[in-house]
């Protein structure tokens, strides 16, 4: 089973949203752009418990600006009264034979490409089901109501049919639970419902017998007699009753469900530690088991898996590995994530990126009909762009030396000058070369186009060490990007951290660099006029000492030119011209 079409109208932060998903869906993007809201919308349709719970007034759409400015004491009823009907519509295709048999009267011929009702003569049409979740404020009753219905007939969806079409929700509840709502219970039920029912009944009887045996102990009976003799016998009229008959032990509310809630899993992952309750193993172990439960459930019935913030409680390797298994073993998987490692488990066309930096929520999805060059370009997603998926803006630099140098300067500005770092301004530095080799200038337009296709605002920082050689590149980047910052003439990254520093600072820093890395320089014999060039030459030694040079500068000293570059990032030129060429210092 898979979602072939998702439409959202006036739900939470979405005024209107349409997504035609690919085989699987990995949702990434900026904070507050709607990752969690998208999964919540799917849950309203595919989680059978949704319409049993009380409808939420916070599911009603309010524009982002209103949400951001809302006071804590704002009257929510006024927002709801003014709101139109809220709805989430989902088209499901790829149903199993059992699902089609159970829901035969609900099936429709649907267009594979759009998920809409198909023409009766369409030879490629497939059977599927359309579902719609509605939320409405009843002004007469002054209350919210919600329901799930079939758009084909307008009939409400019964609970039994909601169970047939339900998704597997990967939540942060403890895994390996035998209680009714636990995933382990559901898996065990699928194996043999009658056998499980008998085993659980036997478990309850055994616990009851064990409790009776416990209460019959001589020491407990003696203690109970003392307690009853201290007043309850007289007050309750128990003079003629044996204490054992008057007091017993059972689960919290006497039910099997209460017993199962009290039963918690133990794990023996280390022979020396022995059996330990799951809670003693930490959040990573629980997250791994929860993902494994979801994978097993989805694999058994081809279900859809829904998970928000997947990987948050996992280490990098576990997040990538489990994402791969979910991707491979489920009918369809919908994950949101903030982890770069998860992105590598999905195809580029399965990525959906949500943004809001333009003032409204937008979604971006790469086209499927990519040629060979485009497919090669998309390799940069997992190698370069993945760590930036939550940032509104990427700043592209030419190569690894530029990348690590500007990061070092940015860190120094933040820690020693109390300037807001790039991360605090929603900017992520990305190098143009995925390898460790020198430079990536020729890759910048390709990377910029890819970033733009994914909804990023794009800035570029360019060296200017060979004037007149990059005119075509500059023109191409000016047409693509929001901002292109170019260093002064005959200045590359080395000069960007040397120019403008006093001779005293340069000499002290070069002297320490020379000692620490055995460069063989006689720093005291270098003339002031030759000192900047000597520093530039030293920076290129031993694979590049740029970051170390910045770190060795005296406290609160920041290279003026590199500082100017970082100050300009994120801000287009006042004239609207995207190219800004800096002057030397």
Residue 445 and residue 559 in one domain: yes
Contact between 366 and 378 under an 8 Å Cβ cutoff? The reply is yes
Task: Pull the structure tokens for residue 84.
Answer: 């139109």
**End-to-end alpha-carbon separation of the chain, Å?**
63
Lowest mean per-residue pLDDT among 79-93, 164-178, 457-471: 79-93
Residue 551 and residue 450 in one domain: yes
Strand partners, 528: none
Domain count for the chain, please give it. 3
> pLDDT tens digit string along 213-263?
888 888 988 888 888 888 877 777 776 666 567 788 877 667 788 777 778
Contact between 538 and 521 under an 8 Å Cβ cutoff? The reply is yes
Nearest to 335 by CA among 219, 169, 520: 169
The whole-angstrom separation of Cα 562 and Cα 566 is: 6
Name the strand (E) or helix (H) holding 309. strand 304-310
Indicate if the pLDDT at residue 83 is higher than 60. no
Task: Pull the structure tokens for residue 252.
Answer: 């919290």
Q: What pLDDT, on the 0 to 100 scale, is given for residue 241?
A: 65
Nearest to 493 by CA among 585, 561, 582: 561
Residue 144 and residue 256 in one domain: no
The whole-angstrom separation of Cα 291 and Cα 361 is: 29
Q: Which residues of 433-464 are buried (b: 16+ CB within 10 A; e: fewer)?
A: bbeeeebbbebbbbbbbbbbbbbbbbbbbbbb
Indicate if the pLDDT at residue 437 is higher than 60. no
Q: Is residue 47 part of a domain?
A: yes
Q: What pLDDT, on the 0 to 100 scale, is given for residue 74?
A: 43
Q: Is residue 288 part of a domain?
A: no
Residues contacting 88, CB < 8 A, separation 6+: 6, 7, 8, 9, 11, 41, 42, 44, 45, 132, 133
Q: Is residue 327 part of a domain?
A: no
Q: Is residue 57 part of a domain?
A: yes
> pLDDT tens digit string along 372-430?
888 888 988 998 999 999 999 999 999 999 999 999 999 999 999 999 999 999 999 99
Residue 480 and residue 514 in one domain: yes
Q: What pLDDT, on the 0 to 100 scale, is given for residue 512?
A: 95
Q: What pLDDT, on the 0 to 100 scale, is given for residue 269?
A: 76
Q: What pLDDT, on the 0 to 100 scale, is given for residue 274?
A: 72
Contact between 153 and 166 under an 8 Å Cβ cutoff? The reply is no
Average pLDDT for residues 474-492, to the nearest whole number? 94
Residue 419 and residue 518 in one domain: yes
Residues contacting 231, CB < 8 A, separation 6+: none
Contact between 355 and 393 under an 8 Å Cβ cutoff? The reply is no
Residues contacting 549, CB < 8 A, separation 6+: 497, 509, 513, 535, 538, 539
Q: How many CA atoms lie within 13 A of 138 on its CB side?
A: 9
> pLDDT tens digit string along 171-187?
877 888 888 878 888 88
| Average pLDDT for the chain | 87
The whole-angstrom separation of Cα 341 and Cα 387 is: 8
Lowest mean per-residue pLDDT among 329-338, 503-512, 515-524: 329-338
- What pLDDT band is residue 66 in, cutting at 50, 70 and 90? very low
Q: What pLDDT, on the 0 to 100 scale, is given for residue 519?
A: 92
Q: What pLDDT, on the 0 to 100 scale, is given for residue 81?
A: 42
Indicate if the pLDDT at residue 439 is higher than 60. no
Indicate if the pLDDT at residue 72 is higher than 80. no
Q: What pLDDT, on the 0 to 100 scale, is given for residue 435?
A: 55
Q: Which of 199, 229, 264 is the last residue of a domain?
A: 264
Average pLDDT for residues 512-536, to the nearest whole number? 94
The whole-angstrom separation of Cα 44 and Cα 79 is: 21
Residue 126 and residue 253 in one domain: no
DSSP string, 418-455: -PPPGGGGTEEEEES-SSSSS--GGGHHHHHHHHHHTT
Residue 507 and residue 389 in one domain: yes
- Show contacts of 32-35: CB within 8 Å, 24+ apart: 32/64, 32/356, 33/354, 33/355, 33/356, 33/361, 34/354, 34/356, 34/361, 35/308, 35/309, 35/336, 35/354
Q: Which of 264, 292, 316 is the last residue of a domain?
A: 264
Q: What pLDDT, on the 0 to 100 scale, is given for residue 49?
A: 87
Indicate if the pLDDT at residue 470 is higher than 70. yes
Average pLDDT for residues 105-128, to the nearest whole number? 93
Q: What pLDDT, on the 0 to 100 scale, is given for residue 126?
A: 94
Indicate if the pLDDT at residue 561 is higher than 90. yes
Contact between 50 and 148 under an 8 Å Cβ cutoff? The reply is yes
Name the strand (E) or helix (H) holding 88. strand 86-93
Q: What pLDDT, on the 0 to 100 scale, is given for residue 352?
A: 97
User: Domain of 567?
Assistant: 385-581
Q: Is residue 350 part of a domain?
A: no
Task: Pull the structure tokens for residue 63.
Answer: 């524009």
Q: What pLDDT, on the 0 to 100 scale, is given for residue 247?
A: 81
* Percent of residues, the chain, with pLDDT higher than 90: 55
Nearest to 565 by CA among 418, 460, 480: 460
Residue 115 and residue 199 in one domain: no
Contact between 500 and 561 under an 8 Å Cβ cutoff? The reply is yes
Residue 151 and residue 191 in one domain: no
Residue 247 and residue 219 in one domain: yes
Q: Is residue 75 part of a domain?
A: yes
Task: Pull the structure tokens for residue 501.
Answer: 């520093």
> pLDDT tens digit string along 140-159?
777 889 999 999 999 999 99
Residue 411 and residue 497 in one domain: yes
Indicate if the pLDDT at residue 537 is higher than 80. yes
Q: Which of 98, 133, 165 is the last residue of a domain?
A: 165
Q: Is residue 277 part of a domain?
A: no
Q: Is residue 82 part of a domain?
A: yes
Name which residue leads in pLDDT, 584 or 102.
102
> pLDDT tens digit string along 253-294?
677 887 777 788 888 877 666 777 877 777 888 888 888 887
Find the DSSP H helices in 97-192.
Answer: 97-102, 159-164, 183-191
Residue 155 and residue 188 in one domain: no
């Amino acid at each position: 089973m898979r979602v072939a079409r998702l439409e959202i109208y006036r739900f939470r932060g979405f005024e209107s949203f349409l997504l035609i998903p690919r085989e699987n869906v990995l949702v990434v993007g900026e904070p507050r752009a709607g990752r969690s809201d998208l999964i919540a919308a799917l849950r309203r349709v595919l989680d059978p418990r949704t319409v049993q719970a009380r409808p939420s007034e916070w599911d009603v759409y309010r524009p982002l600006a209103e949400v951001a400015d809302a006071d804590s004491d704002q009257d929510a009823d006024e927002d709801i009264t003014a709101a139109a009907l809220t709805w989430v519509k989902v088209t499901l295709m790829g149903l199993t034979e059992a699902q089609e048999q159970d829901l035969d009267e609900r099936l429709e011929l649907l267009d594979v490409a759009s998920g809409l009702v198909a023409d009766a003569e369409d030879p490629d049409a497939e059977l599927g089901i359309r579902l719609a979740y509605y939320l409405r404020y009843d002004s007469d009753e002054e209350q919210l109501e919600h329901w799930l219905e079939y758009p084909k007939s307008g009939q409400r969806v019964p609970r039994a049919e909601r169970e047939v079409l339900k998704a597997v929700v990967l939540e942060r509840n403890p895994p390996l639970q035998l209680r009714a709502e636990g995933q382990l219970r559901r898996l065990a039920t699928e194996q043999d419902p009658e056998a499980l029912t008998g085993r659980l009944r036997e478990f309850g009887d055994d616990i009851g017998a064990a409790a009776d045996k416990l209460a019959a102990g001589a020491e407990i009976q003696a203690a109970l007699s003392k307690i009853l003799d201290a007043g309850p016998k007289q007050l309750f009229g128990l003079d003629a009753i044996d204490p054992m008959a008057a007091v017993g032990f059972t689960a919290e509310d006497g039910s099997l469900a209460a017993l199962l809630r009290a039963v918690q899993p133990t794990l023996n992952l280390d022979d020396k530690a022995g059996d330990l309750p799951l809670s003693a193993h930490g959040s990573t172990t629980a997250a791994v088991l929860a993902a494994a439960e979801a994978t097993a459930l989805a694999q058994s019935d081809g279900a859809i898996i829904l998970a928000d913030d997947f990987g948050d409680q996992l280490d990098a390797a576990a997040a990538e590995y489990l994402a791969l298994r979910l991707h491979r073993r489920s009918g369809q998987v919908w994950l949101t994530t903030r982890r770069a490692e998860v992105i590598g488990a999905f195809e580029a066309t399965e990525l959906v990126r949500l943004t809001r930096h333009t003032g409204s929520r937008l979604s971006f999805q790469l086209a499927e009909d990519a040629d060979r060059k485009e497919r090669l370009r998309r390799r940069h997603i997992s190698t370069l762009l993945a760590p930036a998926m939550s940032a509104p803006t990427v700043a592209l630099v030419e190569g690894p030396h530029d990348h690590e140098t500007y990061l070092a300067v940015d860190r120094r500005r933040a820690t020693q000058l109390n300037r807001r770092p790039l991360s605090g301004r929603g900017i992520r530095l990305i190098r143009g070369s995925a390898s460790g080799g020198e430079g990536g200038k020729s890759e910048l337009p390709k990377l910029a186009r890819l970033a733009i296709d994914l909804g990023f605002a794009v800035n570029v920082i360019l060296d200017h060490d060979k004037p007149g050689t990059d005119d075509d590149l500059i023109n191409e980047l000016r047409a693509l990007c929001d901002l292109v910052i170019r260093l002064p003439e005959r200045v590359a990254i080395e000069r960007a951290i040397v120019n403008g520093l006093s001779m005293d600072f340069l000499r002290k820093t070069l002297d320490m660099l020379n000692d620490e890395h055995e460069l063989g320089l006689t720093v005291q014999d270098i003339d002031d006029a030759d000192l900047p060039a000597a520093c530039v030459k030293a920076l290129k030694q031993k694979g590049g000492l740029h970051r170390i040079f910045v770190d060795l500068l005296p406290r609160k000293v920041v290279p003026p030119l590199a500082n100017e570059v970082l100050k300009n990032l994120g801000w287009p030129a006042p004239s609207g011209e995207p190219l800004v060429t800096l002057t030397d210092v």
